[in-house]
Amino acid sequence: VRRHTSLTWELTLLALLALHGLLAALAPPVARRWGRGVFLLCAAAPAATTVWVVTRAPSVLAGEAAVESVQWAEGLGVSVDLRLDAFGLVMVALVSGIGALIFWYAHGYFTKPRPDLGKFAGVLTAFAGSMLGLVLADNVLVLFVFWELTSITSYLLIGFEDRKAEARDAALQALLVTALGGLALLGGLVILGQAAGTYSLSAMLAEPPAGGVVTAGLLLCLVGAFTKSAQVPFHTWLPGAMAAPTPVSAYLHSATMVKAGVYLIARLAPAFAVAPVWRPLVIGVGVATMLVGGYRALRQHDLKLLLAFGTVSQLGFMIALLGAGIPKATFAGVALLIAHGAFKAAVFMVVGIVDHEAGTRDLRRLTGLHAAMPATLLVAAVATASMAGLPPLFGFISKEAALEAFLLPATDFGADMGGTLALLGVVVGSILTFAYSARFLWGAFARKRDVGGRGAAGREVVAAGDVHAPPRSFVAPAALLAGAGLVIGLAPRLVDVLVNQAALALDPRWQPQAIALWHGVNVALALTVLVVGTGAVLFAARRTVERYQALVPPLPGSYDAYQRSVRGLVAGAKRLTGVVQNGSLPTYLMVIMLTVVTLPAPFVIGLLWTPAVPEFAAHGLQTVVSVLVVAATLGAVAARRRFVAVLFLGAVGYGVAILFVIHGAPDLALTQLLVETLIVVLFVLVLRHLPDRFARTELRAYRALRGAVAIAVGLFVFAFTLVAGAARTRPSISGEYLARALPEAHGRNVVNVILVDFRALDTLGEIVVLVVAGIGIASLVTAGWLGGRGSRAEQRGAAAAHDRLEEGADR
């Protein structure tokens, strides 16, 4: 019976991943028929995953991880190992649970038909699948592949509004930053894998390697995680990524993409936090990010941007907690991870609803919306309260747990990184969080007196009367998520086992403890009171704070640094290309020829003294033909007209073909003859584009140089042929080919058998080269002719895009 259960396990996770891929591929054609209904179809993938994971939860939470494995690259020892443990369960619940709601929400969000909705739904599904694969992968190389897939799919999603330059820029920045981090991560994972002797994540964590190399590998992994999770100084791509449609932002900020870095650090921390630089770096960067994000969120007027900086801040918080590698902090981190996923998705959905109904997200233009959309306000209030860490919400419980973790004695955090400093940072960060949460709720819904004032001057104000209440089904996903935060807050026992087992799965040292809303009067509670009080003051004095923030010059932005490095890279590449590719064909040839002569020359000359000089000519005719070939060569060199030179070259080729015939190689000779004929004809075609006569170079020295190089190449090839002929140390394989051609390959023509059977892979490579050359010739010639006028393909593409747009508008 047990065997049977393991068999049904075997492919379920993979099948769920494949389902994501299948629906992603189906989405574009389906969207053509169903329009936005495609989102409900695509929701099936994350929904099915969620349902399945819930049914497996009892056994996984009992400590029995689900494992699947499929051989991938056997020779490299890479197999697709999937593993679902309790922490994986938390991540899958976030990725797929929230994912299903996001699809539902997207169905309400895209009310206007647009032709590219199918593409969008497909990429979003692929994105959900990539993230799912990332949190399930047990082989670090497989994890890396999914990691990169999330980078690529998020690039497509952020740049979905590809007609807006800012969306394209934001998408490119996200891709460059996260892909750069991805490269570092690959390096880090390979170092860790080599040091550990295994690429299995669970095996690596069970017996963590140590040493200087491992520290370097960990640093690289951290760079990868920091870029992905938008940590200082790589954080700027995330606020930029809000150029994406809101469903994407809600998903990206809550459950996917940015959580990938948090996930990786959470996995690695318990095993590797003892490494020299880990704790100061991870906790330092995390706390710094928390402060920078919170500070910048306070001064935003765009509600979505406010939340985006809020996410940066919360990510720093999570990195500091889960990266500390202390059981209690890990426990608090898992709780915060769940709480954040729920409330952040909900508040982003609320922003999308406000934007959708009011047409703006600028809090200086919104006033009194609370009256128009009371249900949305309620949802927003509950979610925001969780974000601010107020009781009785889950956000409060997780923040209390976090404060308690940082109240632990400093010795738990290693020698120099005192818990006190981290605690201070977290408290200040929480104050900022409270303040920007309040600002968000106030900004979106409150009645404001100074609305339309400074900065928003001349812009239309949106008040309650201008706005319809959103349909219920549009608010429902956000309501479910916000409600989850409330229900869990009131009855934390619901997630007691989940959070404890997830913390245990990360760190076996954790001793499970009950989660409770009320821990009695203690230091953490006092700190919460302090946070709420100061945060409220900060919010109440928002005018003063804004004025003060305007006075402080902005820090040298990492966005500028990004811009400068991209510009520098492009300029550098241009300069390098200018030097290396100067456009002179003779120079290219000369470089190639000189390389051919100089690099192997020492070895060839060394061997020249021991050549077995071959027989000069076995047949009288060979001498005659050779003399003719040499004469034709000299003729080609002396020719003044290009056409004559081509004919002489053809004569050389025919002469060589005759030599092949004399040697008894009909296939070679036949090929040579045909190729020479074709070359002459095709050469003539090219000659139509060139001047009749060769240009006479004025510089005698340059001509002498070219002559010298030509002679050197000729001598070298001669010497090389002699040496190569004498270089045989093993018996030739020719005999073997002759012997095996008929019995094994059923062919009497050995040349052909070699080409298509014995060495068919070589032939395959060669014909691929032929194809590439054909495409290259066609495009070069076409590009050259159409140069000034823009290519015809481009015009066709633009026309087609225009047609598609009109078609979409008609529908």
Partner 1 sequence: MRSLILEAGTRAVFHTMLLFSVYLLFAGHNFPGGGFIGGLVAAAAFVLYYIAEGPGHLRKTTRRVRPEVLLGVGILLAAAVGVAALAGGAAFLESGVIEVEVPIIGHVEASSVLVFDLGVYTIVVGLVLVILESLGAEMPS
Which residues of the shown chain bind partner 1 in the complex (CB under 8 A)?
666-667, 670-671, 674-675, 677-678, 681-682, 685-686, 688-689, 745-749, 751-753, 755-757, 760-761, 763-764, 767-768, 770-771, 773-775, 777-778, 781-782, 785
Name the residue nearer to partner 1 (CB basis): 560 or 744: 744
- Of the candidates 157, 149, 151, the one whose C-alpha atom is nearest the C-alpha of residue 176 is 151
Q: How far is the CB of 652 from partner 1 (least distance, A)?
A: 18
Name the residue nearer to partner 1 (CB basis): 81 or 676: 676
Kindly write down the DSSP assignment for every residue of 621-672, as one continuous string. HHHHHHHHHHHHHHHHHH-SBHHHHHHHHHHHHHHHHHHHHHHT-HHHHHHH
Q: How far is the CB of 304 from partner 1 (least distance, A)?
A: 46
d(CA 174, CA 252): 12
Phi-psi category of residue 325: left, alpha or beta, with phi > 0 → left and psi -120 to 50 → alpha: left
- One-letter identity of residue 388: A
Report whether 455 contacts 359 (CB < 8 A). no
Q: Which residues fall within 8 angstroms of residue 500, CB to CB, at 6 or more apart?
A: 331, 510, 512, 513, 515
Q: Which residues fall within 8 angstroms of residue 575, CB to CB, at 6 or more apart?
A: none
Six-digit token pair at 373?
A: 């959309």
Q: How far is the CB of 72 from partner 1 (least distance, A)?
A: 15
Name the residue nearer to partner 1 (CB basis): 617 or 760: 760
- One-letter identity of residue 742: L
Kindly write down the DSSP assignment for every residue of 369-420, as one continuous string. HHHH-HHHHHHHHHHHHHHHT-TTSHHHHHHHHHHHHHTS-GGGG-SSS-HH
- Of the candidates 240, 99, 107, the one whose C-alpha atom is nearest the C-alpha of residue 176 is 240
Question: Residue holding tokens 């760190």?
Answer: 507
d(CA 608, CA 616): 17
Q: How many CA atoms lie within 13 A of 605 on its CB side?
A: 8
Burial 703-719 (b: 16+ CB within 10 A, else e): eeeeeebeebbeebeeb
Name the residue nearer to partner 1 (CB basis): 557 or 774: 774
Six-digit token pair at 534?
A: 């100061």
CB atoms within 10 A of CB 660: 17
CA dihedral of 125, 127, 133, 134, whole degrees rounded to 10:
-160
- One-letter identity of residue 250: A
d(CA 307, CA 309): 5
Query: What do you get for the CA distance between the two ends of the chain, in Å?
Result: 55
Sign of CA dihedral 719, 720, 722, 728: positive
d(CA 386, CA 380): 10
- One-letter identity of residue 649: L
For the chain, percent helix, then strand, then coil, each to nearest 5?
75, 5, 20
Question: Residue holding tokens 């003539």?
Answer: 684
3-state secondary structure of 613: coil
Q: How far is the CB of 788 from partner 1 (least distance, A)?
A: 11
Report whether 92 contacts 35 (CB < 8 A). no
d(CA 656, CA 206): 67
**Which backbone phi and psi does 301 adopt, to 5 degrees?**
-105, -25
Neighbour-count burial of 162, counting CB atoms closer than 10 A to its CB (0-12 exposed, 13-18 middle, 19+ buried): exposed
3-state secondary structure of 66: strand
d(CA 128, CA 754): 48
Q: How far is the CB of 622 from partner 1 (least distance, A)?
A: 21
d(CA 268, CA 520): 33
d(CA 362, CA 300): 9
Radius of gyration of the chain (CA): 34
Q: How far is the CB of 397 from partner 1 (least distance, A)?
A: 55
Q: How far is the CB of 673 from partner 1 (least distance, A)?
A: 9
Q: Which residues fall within 8 angstroms of residue 346, CB to CB, at 6 or more apart?
A: 379, 380, 382, 383, 478, 479, 481, 482, 485
How many angstroms separate the Cα of 544 from the Cα of each of 443, 457, 473, 538, 732?
A: 16, 20, 40, 9, 89
